[in-house]
Structure 1
Amino acid sequence: MENNLNGKRILVESGGGVGDLIMFTPALRSLKEKFTGCMITFLTIDKTVDVINRLPYIDRVICIKRGRFMGRYRVLPDLIKQDYLIFTEWQPHLLFCAWILRCSHRFSVGRDGKFLTGTLHKRIRHVVSSSINFAAQTNAELLSDMLDVKLNGDMTKCDVSMPTESERTEVTRLLNKIGIKTGDDFILLSPFASSKERNWPLKEVEKLVELINKNYNIPVIFIGNTDSPFIEKKFQYSLLRKTNIIQLIEVIRRAKCLITPDSGPMHIAGALNVPCISLFSKDIPSRWAPKHNCWPIYLSYPCSPCTPEKFRDCPYDLKCMKDITANMVFKVLSNILPLK
């Protein structure tokens, strides 16, 4: 028999990046639609919290502030209040405290041979990294299994926090400052990812911008959270390290197309239904590429996909990313934005 979660307090934890959080939104939306009386709390880290903290179906978002004294333990009062605790990552400090405090319904991925694994009421079986299915669907299966419910609905439609009017005005000012007028079309290029191994080579970046400038009358704006003297010196339009997450969402919302490695901006574009060309290297499009308006480029070498550890010490010189050429990307772009 299916659980009735109305009146229940449910905490879901994910300490991952922007994409990891966005991939939970379809399941959480479905959960709230099915049990309007449940209280959903999401626990994450402070650097990604803004991407989902305005969604109406998440009642509260709390974050662990890294670098703050006892930051991880400041969330304990919130744990005590919950009827269900779902830690999608191994959090030994919080799991130990939840066990000592006798919090009910403690679920996590667990670790073989670890004492705390034996204290769990249920061990998570559906893990994104172990499935080739779309991550949002795997997360829905995870929550369904842990909460003994059946979550229905479209798990391919993700959500992000939306900017306020004043925040949109600030983005207009940022764009005007670099020479982009209100209403101007532009293409976004985000060549950098959270790990440098997934960065797209700058020589291909330069070739692609040359192709776009030659064939389109449209600016290319660089976005990302990485400094690049090369880009700042070489290209006219750059918002590198000039936007917070909310501003980035608004910039992506206005773009004609986004070109990026498998990274946070790709997931934001997917949630906003903005056309996106995503460059995949160590991971697979079936798991992470947005299901709508996204054109992944994946070379599918025999060594792909691979583990983060192998990727950081790649014996093949990261050819899965380095072999993606500007011509490949431009060919896809010309199908999205037809040449005149």
Structure 2
Amino acid sequence: MKHPLPAQPAHICVLRLSALGDVCNLVPTVRALQRQWPTARITWIIGRAEHSLLAGLPGVEFVVYDKSTGLAGMRNIWRELRNTPFDVLLHMQQSIRASILSLGLKARVRLGYDRARAKDWQTWFTNRQLTPHPKAHVLESFMDFARELGVDDDRLEWGIPLPEAAREEARQILDGRPALVISPCASPRLRNFRNWSAEGYAAVIEHAWRRHGLTTFLTGGTSTQELEMCERIAAGVSEASPVNLLGRTSLKGLLALIDEARMVIAPDSGPVHMANAMNTPVLGLFATTNPERAAPWCWREHVVNRYPDAVATHLHKSPDEIVWGTRVRHEDAMSLITFEDVINRLDELLALTADHDKAAGSVRHDV
């Protein structure tokens, strides 16, 4: 028997710790909940870096969990919330860490993914599951939580706040230059294989400068992989050298930079979804992950999509023959993306958005 859902929840707990792109995709669900129940309290348990990106989101009480603190950090959250009963817990993080954390929260209803979408035994930690939604995009899967609660108005709205200090940080970096932001590397995890070639990026940077007058700003962290990638990119550019910003911006500053940029190019990673949230034209590069599941939602028709080719080449199947969400974990998969693929999409998208009018952070789209 299903646990009954609250008709008028007074206090909703959102449990989603990571990652940067995912929390950007989740914001429209929070907005939908707020439109449906303007007086409801919303407490979001979130990771430290993710909080620094979304801090100040109106109407949301954040509780920050630093995963480096392990069980001790969980106990701190349990103590902080020990006298806080929730009408419903939206268990939106499919990980054992998040599920263990959920055990110390007081909630009558614990809503999680349906069995087809659940991972890491999440259904063991929930007492109500979503209605199945085969082949859903990540953003749609988050919105399914609001729909399950009875929300009808599922328009997409972000409104991630940017403080003036972040805007000033971006202005000083740009110094009036029209910008192409490239974040060349996805998270440096084992067998990730989402990164395109340094040579390809270098050629795109030259093209963006010569044809469109865009200065490229390279963004990312300071891992060895990222530093080496950006050194190789810079070495391959003969003119219009890119500006290296690795590790030199705050997350809010990066978001402000993306907000001011003419375009963002990146593989399947946080920056494509940050750009999507700010309504900045974004060109996603996809071969190892399926863009139908993970592309930047508002710009998903403009991605470079070599995923079907990668599935055929390295898994010897078609996308219809594999489990939804399967990643092509092969180091050569992204090499299926050509320079021509990228510059053709870049030229098309820049032409399409030449008069792009973006009410930054407040744009609405239908899901």
2:164 corresponds to = 165
Instruction: Give the structure 2 partner of residue 329 of structure 1.
Output: 342
Query: Residue 206 of structure 1 corresponds to which residue in structure 2?
Result: 202
Q: Equivalences for 1:30-45 in 2 at 5 Å? A: 30-45=32-47
Distance 2:287 2:338 in 1: 13
How far did 1:307 drift? 8.5
Letter in 1 for 2:25: M
Q: Which residue of 1 aligns with 2:16?
A: 14
- CA distance change for structure 1 residues 166 and 37 in 2, over 3 Å: closer, same or farther? same
CA offset at residue 2 of structure 1?
A: 7.9
Distance in 2 between the 1:124 and 1:79 partners? 27
Partner residue of 2:304? 297
Counterpart residue number, 1:185: 178
SS class of match (1:198): coil
Percent identity over paired residues: 20
User: In the alignment, residue 249 of structure 1 is paired with which amino acid?
Assistant: L
Matched, 1:281 2:269: no
Q: How do 1:73-88 residues align onto structure 2 when only pairs under 5 Å count? A: 73-76=75-78, 77-78=80-81, 80-81=83-84, 82-88=86-92
Query: Which residue is 1:94 aligned to?
Result: 101
Residue range with higher mean Cα deviation, 243-252 or 159-168: 159-168
Using CA pairs under 8 Å that are at least 6 residues apart, name the structure with larger relative contact order, 1 or 2. 2
Pairing 1:43-62 to 2, within 5 Å after superposition: 43-58=45-60, 60-62=61-63
Distance, in Å, in 2 between the alignment partners of 1:191 and 1:119 is: 37
User: CA-to-partner distance for each residue in 1:99-130, whole Å, 9 max, x for gaps?
Assistant: xxx64223334999x9995664323455xxx8
1:292, CA displacement in angstroms? 2.8
1:207 partner letter: A
Runs of 5+ in structure 2 lacking a partner? 355-367
The SS at the match of 1:292 is: helix
- Aligned match of 1:66: 67
Root-mean-square deviation (CA, aligned residues, Å) is: 3.1
User: What secondary structure is seen at the aligned counterpart in 1 of 2:38?
Assistant: coil
* 8 Å CA contact 1:188, 1:255 repeated in 2: yes
Retained in 2: the 8 A contact 1:9–1:84? yes
Go from structure 1 to structure 2 and tell me whether the alpha carbon gap of 1:103 and 1:271 turns closer, same or farther (over 3 Å shift): closer
- Checking the alignment, whether the CA contact within 8 Å between 2:217 and 2:245 is kept in structure 1 is yes
Question: What does residue 232 of structure 2 align with?
Answer: 230
Note closer, same or farther for the CA distance 1:158–1:22 as it changes in structure 2 (3 Å cut): farther
Q: Using the alignment, how far apart are the partners of 1:214 and 1:322 within structure 2? A: 24
Question: Does structure 2 retain, via aligned residues, the 8 Å contact 1:132–1:284?
Answer: no
1:109-188 map, 5 Å: 109=113, 120-124=126-130, 126=132, 131-145=134-148, 147=149, 149-154=150-155, 157-159=156-158, 161-173=160-172, 175=173, 180-182=174-176, 184-188=177-181
Q: Classify 1:133/1:107 alpha carbon distance in 2 versus 1 (closer, same or farther; 3 Å).
A: closer
Aligned residue pairs total 317
Instruction: Show structure 1 runs of 5+ residues with no match.
Output: none
Q: Is the 8 A contact 2:143 2:154 kept in 1?
A: no
Q: SS of the counterpart of 2:257?
A: helix
Counterpart position of 1:25? 27
Q: For 1:281 and 1:57, locate their aligned partners in 2 and report how far apart those are by CA, in whole Å.
A: 38
TM-score in terms of structure 2 length: 0.76
- Aligned equivalent of 2:360: none
**How much does 1:55 deviate?**
1.8
Q: Counterpart of 1:94 in structure 2: which amino acid?
A: L
2:112 corresponds to 1:108: yes
Partner residue of 1:318 out of 332, 341, 363? 332
Matched residue of 1:213: which SS? helix
On the 8 A contact 1:279/1:296 being kept in 2, the answer is yes
Closer, same or farther: CA 79–11 of 1 in aligned 2, 3 Å:
farther
Query: What displacement does 1:257 show?
Result: 0.9
Structure 2 SS opposite 1:61: strand
Query: Which region of structure 1 is more displaced relative to structure 2, 115-124 or 248-257?
Result: 115-124
Q: Report the alpha carbon displacement of residue 46 of structure 1 after superposing the two structures with TM.
A: 0.8
Q: Secondary structure at the match of 1:337?
A: helix
Q: Is this contact kept in 1: 2:32–2:146, CA < 8 A?
A: no
> How many Å separate the matches in 1 of 2:101 and 2:130?
16
Say if 2:275 and 2:281, in contact at 8 Å, map to a contact too: yes
